């Protein structure tokens, strides 16, 4: 188990993290999500031992993870950290970068293992290319394979797919996270992309303003977000009073409604005037305004003309679920 106990950290005089507590089981996959600057990357560096703690402790099983003041070479040996700086050898080939930490005493296994990792990152045809000739996204894939070649007990990933083309991300995510599960590697990924989270992680930890504000299974946080901030990390969302959604309701309590949970009607519902319509491929993301002047986001199957008046409805099932599980900010 990885234990982060009462950890706080300050850059110069600016607090970044306060009283962070985490428990992560062996083989568990955990995502740390939040807006830029919330402390995700800092927390990964602390867990890896790249920073000295002012308050708190970090343990892997019963072994403390200590910072540079205690270790000549920072970083725990059983743990690997892939930052947004790839730390590759630019003048050697892709294969040589990946196989750097594999044993040369077993050449057959080295070749097979290197080939397996090349296939996983979909760079087989670039095996003999110098790393310096690759794009940023290709270099990020090599960096991923390089840390996986070392078979760590714990893998820390900081925005691991940020440089990779969208058309490759989905297959690469599937390949990487399946490999980690198959090999029993504990994984902590810091990300702002919910596509890294919903399909692949066991637990999500949400950080805002130096603190953990929510944690749980990704589908639970998605279906029952504790605040508009949490919901916004998974997609466009709105905070709306129940008596606006259902005029007969005798409460102004607000609940979270995702843009895709609205159904557009021509006849009845919340009256909304269309301001902007964004084509998203399978649907349109529409920004409108209610009669009270509040902005609202919703999905439409077809493009809606500017200034058109439409009506929005939300199912009673969604409303009741949010009332039961989702107190808002």
Integer Cα distance of 152 and 188 in angstroms? 12
Q: For the chain, what is the mean pLDDT?
A: 91
Q: Which residue has the higher pLDDT, 309 or 166?
A: 309
Residue matched to tokens 């892939």: 82
Calculate helix-pair angle for 107-120, 166-182, nearest 10 degrees. 140
Over residues 124-164, the pLDDT tens digits come to: 999 999 999 999 889 999 999 998 888 899 999 999 888 88
Mean of pLDDT values over 238-251: 85
Domains parsed from the chain with CATH numbers? 2-228 (3.40.50.300), 231-325 (2.40.50.140)
Q: What is the mean pLDDT of the segment spanning 301-319?
A: 94
Q: Is the predicted pLDDT of residue 248 greater than 60, yes or no?
A: yes
pLDDT at 326 (0 to 100): 53
| CA–CA gap between residue 211 and residue 54 (Å, rounded) | 16
Residue that wins the pLDDT comparison between 46 and 243? 46
**∠ CA 205-206-209 to the nearest 5 degrees?**
135
Q: What is the mean pLDDT of residues 89-118?
A: 87
pLDDT digits (tens, 9 = 90+) for 279-293: 999 999 999 999 989
Q: What's the pLDDT at 107?
A: 81
- The pLDDT score that the predictor gives to residue 10 is 93
pLDDT digits (tens, 9 = 90+) for 12-53: 889 999 999 999 999 999 999 998 888 999 999 999 999 999
What average pLDDT score do residues 87-102 get? 89
The residue that leads in pLDDT, 70 or 28, is: 28
Percent of the chain topping pLDDT 70: 98
- Model confidence, pTM: 0.88
Indicate the pLDDT class of residue 329, thresholds 50, 70 and 90.
Answer: very low
> Would the pLDDT of 327 be above 60?
no
Residue 101 is predicted with a pLDDT of: 77
Q: What is the DSSP string of 93-140?
A: BHHHHHGGGS-TT-HHHHHHHHHHHHHHTT-GGGTTSBGGGS-HHHHH
Q: String of b and e for 113-134 (b: at least 16 CB within 10 Å)?
A: bbeebbebbebeebeeeebeeb
Residue 237 CB contacts under 8 Å (≥ 6 apart), including other chains: 225, 228, 231, 256, 257, 258, 259, 297
């Amino acid at each position: 188990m990885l234990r982060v106990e009462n950890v706080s950290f300050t850059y110069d005089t600016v607090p970044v993290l306060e009283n962070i507590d985490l428990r992560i089981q062996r083989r568990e996959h955990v995502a740390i999500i939040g807006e830029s600057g919330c402390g995700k990357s800092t927390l990964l560096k602390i867990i890896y031992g790249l920073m000295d703690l002012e308050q708190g402790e970090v343990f892997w099983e019963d072994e403390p993870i200590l910072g540079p003041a205690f270790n000549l070479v920072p970083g725990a040996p059983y743990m690997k950290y892939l930052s947004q700086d790839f730390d590759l050898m630019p003048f050697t080939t892709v294969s040589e970068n990946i196989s750097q930490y594999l044993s040369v005493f077993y050449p057959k296994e080295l070749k097979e293992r290197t080939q397996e990792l090349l296939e996983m990152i979909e760079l087989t045809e670039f095996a003999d290319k110098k790393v310096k000739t690759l794009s940023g996204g290709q270099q990020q894939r090599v960096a991923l394979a390089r840390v996986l070649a070392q078979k760590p007990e714990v893998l820390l990933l900081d925005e691991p797919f940020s440089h990779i083309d969208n058309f490759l991300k989905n297959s690469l995510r599937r390949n990487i996270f399946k490999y980690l599960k198959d090999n029993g590697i504990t994984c902590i990924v810091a990300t702002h992309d919910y596509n890294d989270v919903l399909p692949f992680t066991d637990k999500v930890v949400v950080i805002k303003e130096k603190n953990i504000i929510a944690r749980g299974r990704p589908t639970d946080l998605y279906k029952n977000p504790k605040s508009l901030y949490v919901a916004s990390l998974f997609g466009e969302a709105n905070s709306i009073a129940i008596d606006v959604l259902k005029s007969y309701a005798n409460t102004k309590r607000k609940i979270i409604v995702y843009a895709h949970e609205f159904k557009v009607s021509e006849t009845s519902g919340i009256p909304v005037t269309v301001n902007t319509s964004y084509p998203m491929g399978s649907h349109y993301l529409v920004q409108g305004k209610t009669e009270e002047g509040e902005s609202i986001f919703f999905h439409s199957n077809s493009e809606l003309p500017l200034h058109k008046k439409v009506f929005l409805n939300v199912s009673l099932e969604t409303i009741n679920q949010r009332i039961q599980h989702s107190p808002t900010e």
